[in-house]
Amino acid sequence: MYHIALKMLIGDRGKYLMLLCGLTFSSLLMTQQCAVFFGLLMWTTSHLRNMRAAIWVADPKVEQVNEIKGMRDTDVSRVRSVQGVAWAVPLFCAVQQTKLQNGNFKPIMLVGIDSATLVGRPPVMLSGRLEDLRLPNSVIIDDLAVQRLGIGRTKPLGLGDTFEINDKEARIVGICKADRHFFGYPYVYSTYDRALQFAPKTRKMLSLVLVEPLPGWTREQVAQQIERETHLRAFTEQKFFWDTIWWYFRNTGIPVSFGTTIILGFIVGIAVSGQTFYTFVLENLRHLGALKAMGASDGLIARMLIVQALTVGIIGYGLGIGLAALFGFAVLDKGMPPFALPYQLPLFTLVMILFICVFAAFLAILKVRKLEPAIVFRG
Amino acid sequence: MSTPAPNANGNGNANGHQLAIHVRNVTKTFGTGDARTFALKGVDFDARLGELLMIVGPSGCGKTTLLSAIAGTLNFDSGEIDAFGLPLHTASKQQITDFRKRQVGFIFQSFNLIPTLSLVENVSVPLLINGVRRSEAEKKSRALLDQVGLTGRGDDHPRNLSGGQQQRVAIARALIHEPNLLICDEPTSALDRDTGAKIMELLRDIARKPDRCVLVVTHDNRVFKYADRMSEMEDGRVSRVHETTENIRHE
């Protein structure tokens, strides 16, 4: 009987397409908006992926990775002296101004990494050599900086080109690929010492200390040990990631804004699909009554309705996810808007779409259960 | 008057005839309070095996309500109905559903064919409900469509058929699972005279099988002549049951 149920569903082209559109739109809206939201949250933690370290040590008042409060240079040595620390290196990280060739200014995220070990280096080099960062005035810029800082030039920024950071000349020795920052600043890497020269002088210039635990020590153990002995704040990479995410949840309107759109997608799904399916059932009530009169049990008709609802739901879900993925492919290359599609997200959308379908089928089943088969004898 | 109830094979006996349906003192009301309407007011009624019995009467006299009660599609308030050995007044919901599934075929005034299904699929439905495999059900359906004069039209859809052809499909659907009881509600009212006559001839032939009974509700006096007996209803009661006379046949 299930093929009969499907033919009844698909045969009513108008209703079927409307159901499909409602569920596709709902699935697309929920997936796409969640993906943009997750992408945006990922941008907030870009430092963690662009500099990478097992443990991050910061000022005791720091709550999340984008909140930098300067420490003393001697704090590196204090951290190195903690039991369980294999090595610790300084890191400078702050927003600085660059001057473009046309006279405009652009903010950049200047990262100063330890010149000896190059710990905190960019994740992927696109051109140039990382070791050249030790040459005088040299910097490595990310691909976003190539676009942003190249404005006003006749040809794109490349190796050997120069620009100014706070009125000091910087020469490009490499181009890297880096995750985009939440505020859209391009990443410019330099050595720690040179970064201190680029940046205006302040009393405390050390932004973070990157730490690796000794073998046999867990990250958590070493982080606790650092906090106990230095009274600085030590985050494992994972904790820093989640603390940052939750900070944005608590302190910005982003979750509410995206949450509203996601809920709207769900409501559209419920309203359009639920109502259309219910109308479809109402219009087929006479035929369902005939099936009941012919001996189809309530259970069989309920199963037929569930098959109809789930079929249209799964097709709509597939189309919605497909469109969301196409959107993702289209924007990932451009880097705007943010987009992240972890496997949990399609699962979440599937659960929501199935809920909508089961809800719609449930309403229809309630109606059909009350249906007297004698309805077929009424004119 | 008391008549023995039919057993499982419809073997009750009344005046030498084996009974298929035995109805005693059945009542049915709709609504409550001032809006309460008495549709059946103690109906007594018998139908025999191998006959085509017409239930006739003016609109609102309770014909369709009686038919629905006999078919097991409508609960009645009091009284007894034995249909092919099943006491509907005491049977469970599941037993009544099984009775409809296995032993009843329906022909409706407005055909009630599912427009999105092909003719073969429409005819297959009762077999599928009875758990027959799809391939087998469709094979049988094609054969039966051939028998009702719709050879080669199995993959067509109801919208492409005339009213008479649609009613033939409905008859094939009603017969596909070889039911004992055929319930026909105004089967000719949507058809022209000639088509109606052909449909009634088909139903009369169907009723000739000794283990079958065809009940037809109608107020189309053009088709009275096809009945073996007629049960006249008036104001919720059966007022008269009589053999179809030659006069009626002649008219």
pLDDT tens digits, one per residue of A91-109 = 999 999 998 877 888 899 9
Residues A93 and A207 sit within 8 Å (Cβ to Cβ):
yes
Strand, helix or coil at B36? Answer: coil
**Domain assignment of residue A343, yes or no:** yes
Q: Is B130 on the interface with A (CB under 8 A)?
A: yes
Q: Is the pLDDT of residue A310 over 60?
A: yes
Q: What is the pLDDT of residues B201-213, one digit of tens each?
A: 877 877 787 888 8
Q: Given A7, A295, A374, which is nearest B74 (Cβ)?
A: A374
Confidence bin at B3 (pLDDT 50/70/90)? very low
**Domain assignment of residue A53, yes or no:** no
Q: Is B125 on the interface with A (CB under 8 A)?
A: yes
Structure tokens belonging to residue B15: 């005046």
A92 and A164 part of one domain: yes
Task: Indicate the burial class of A104 (C-beta count within 10 angstroms; 0-12, 13-18, 19 or more).
Answer: exposed
d(CA A277, CA A274): 5
pLDDT at B13: 54
Confidence bin at B246 (pLDDT 50/70/90)? low
pLDDT at A187: 93
Structure tokens belonging to residue A299: 């259970």
Residues A21 and A321 sit within 8 Å (Cβ to Cβ):
no
pLDDT at B248: 54
Q: Given A297, A372, A377, which is nearest B67 (Cβ)?
A: A377
**Domain assignment of residue B7, yes or no:** no
Nearest CA among A88, A351, A37 for reference residue A211: A88
Min Cα separation A312/chain B (Å):
17
Residues B102 and B94 sit within 8 Å (Cβ to Cβ):
no
* B contact test, residue of A9, A294, A370 with most B CBs within 10 A: A294
Bridging pattern class, strands B213-217 and B52-56: parallel
**Domain assignment of residue A60, yes or no:** no
- If one compares A24 and A211, the residue with the highest pLDDT of the two is A211
List of chain B residues whose C-beta atoms are within 8 Å of the C-beta of residue A10: 116
Q: Is A1 on the interface with B (CB under 8 A)?
A: yes
Q: Is B133 on the interface with A (CB under 8 A)?
A: no
A218 and A94 part of one domain: yes
Locate the chain A residue with the closest alpha carbon to B72.
Answer: A293
Inter-chain residue contact A290 with B108, CB threshold 8 Å: yes
d(CA B103, CA B212): 10
**Domain assignment of residue B5, yes or no:** no
Residues B205 and B128 sit within 8 Å (Cβ to Cβ):
no
CB-CB neighbours of A246 under 10 Å = 13
Inter-chain residue contact B98 with A296, CB threshold 8 Å: no
Q: Is the pLDDT of residue B6 over 70?
A: no
Determine the distance from the C-alpha atom of residue A151 to the mean position of all C-alpha atoms in its chain, rounded to a whole number: 28
Question: Residue A148 belongs to what domain range?
Answer: 72-231
Structure tokens belonging to residue B81: 């109905």
Beta carbons within 8 Å of A269's beta carbon, 6+ residues apart = A22, A23, A25, A26, A27, A30, A352, A353, A356
Which residues make beta-bridge pairs with A91? Answer: A208
A108 and A6 part of one domain: no
Which residues make beta-bridge pairs with A96? Answer: A108
Confidence bin at A341 (pLDDT 50/70/90)? confident
Which region, left, alpha or beta, applies to residue A90 given φ > 0 means left and ψ of -120 to 50 means alpha? beta
Phi, psi of A174 (to 5 degrees): -165, 155
The crossing angle, in degrees rounded to 10, of helices A298-332 and A275-283 is 140
A19 and A108 part of one domain: no
Inter-chain residue contact A290 with B110, CB threshold 8 Å: no
Residues B185 and B29 sit within 8 Å (Cβ to Cβ):
no
Q: What is the pLDDT of residues A6-32, one digit of tens each?
A: 888 888 788 788 888 888 888 888 888
A111 and A200 part of one domain: yes
A294 and A357 part of one domain: yes
Q: Is the pLDDT of residue B8 over 70?
A: no
The CATH number of whichever domain residue B160 belongs to comes to 3.40.50.300
Q: Given A3, A296, A377, which is nearest B185 (Cβ)?
A: A377
Of the given ranges (A15-29, A262-276, B39-53, B84-98), which has the lowest mean pLDDT? A262-276
Inter-chain residue contact B125 with A12, CB threshold 8 Å: no
pLDDT at A335: 67
A226 and A258 part of one domain: no
A124 and A183 part of one domain: yes
Inter-chain residue contact B125 with A294, CB threshold 8 Å: yes
Inter-chain residue contact A12 with B116, CB threshold 8 Å: yes
Structure tokens belonging to residue B236: 């919720």
The helix (run of H) or strand (run of E) holding residue B231 is: strand B229-234
d(CA A305, CA A366): 11
**Domain assignment of residue B150, yes or no:** yes
Residues A31 and A349 sit within 8 Å (Cβ to Cβ):
yes
How many domains are contained in chain B?
A: 1
* A contact test, residue of B94, B110, B128, B218 with most A CBs within 10 A: B128
d(CA A202, CA A208): 15
A77 and A219 part of one domain: yes
The crossing angle, in degrees rounded to 10, of helices A13-44 and A254-268 is 170
Q: Is the pLDDT of residue B18 over 80?
A: no
**Domain assignment of residue B2, yes or no:** no
Whether ipTM tops 0.95, in short, is no
Bridging pattern class, strands A162-165 and A168-177: antiparallel
Locate the chain B residue with the closest alpha carbon to A9.
Answer: B116
Locate the chain B residue with the closest alpha carbon to A378.
Answer: B64
**Domain assignment of residue B3, yes or no:** no
Confidence bin at A171 (pLDDT 50/70/90)? very high
A223 and A77 part of one domain: yes
List of chain B residues whose C-beta atoms are within 8 Å of the C-beta of residue A295: 97-102, 104, 126, 129-130
Residue B20 CA: distances (Å) to CA of B12, B48, B106, B152, B210 = 7, 5, 16, 36, 10
Of the given ranges (A368-377, B197-206, B228-237), which has the lowest mean pLDDT? A368-377
d(CA A308, CA A236): 49
* A contact test, residue of B99, B108, B111, B180 with most A CBs within 10 A: B108
A207 and A302 part of one domain: no
Inter-chain residue contact B106 with A291, CB threshold 8 Å: no
Inter-chain residue contact B101 with A294, CB threshold 8 Å: yes
Structure tokens belonging to residue A125: 């080099």
One-character DSSP codes across A121-181: --SEEEEE-GGGGGSTTEEEEEHHHHHHTTTT-SS---TT-EEEETTEEEEEEEEEE-PPP
Inter-chain residue contact A290 with B71, CB threshold 8 Å: no
Residue B247 CA: distances (Å) to CA of B129, B215, B226 = 43, 22, 12
A36 and A79 part of one domain: no
Q: Is B68 on the interface with A (CB under 8 A)?
A: yes
The helix (run of H) or strand (run of E) holding residue A224 is: helix A219-230
Structure tokens belonging to residue A26: 């709902």
Structure tokens belonging to residue A307: 């098959």
Q: Which of residues 135-194 of B touch A (CB under 8 A)?
A: 185
Place of tokens 């309107």: A253
Min Cα separation B107/chain A (Å):
10
Structure tokens belonging to residue A289: 């009554």
The structure's pTM equals 0.72
List of chain A residues whose C-beta atoms are within 8 Å of the C-beta of residue B104: 294-295
Which residues make beta-bridge pairs with A125? Answer: A176
**Domain assignment of residue B6, yes or no:** no
Question: Residue B66 belongs to what domain range?
Answer: 12-250
pLDDT at A378: 64
Locate the chain A residue with the closest alpha carbon to B174.
Answer: A294
Instruction: Report the amino acid identity of residue B58.
Output: P
d(CA A357, CA A281): 13
Q: Given A12, A295, A379, which is nearest B97 (Cβ)?
A: A295
d(CA A251, CA A285): 52
How many domains are contained in chain A?
A: 2
Phi, psi of B23 (to 5 degrees): -115, 130
Locate the chain B residue with the closest alpha carbon to A376.
Answer: B108
Task: Indicate the burial class of B94 (C-beta count within 10 angstroms; 0-12, 13-18, 19 or more).
Answer: exposed
Nearest CA among B198, B220, B226, B251 for reference residue B51: B226
Q: Is B131 on the interface with A (CB under 8 A)?
A: no
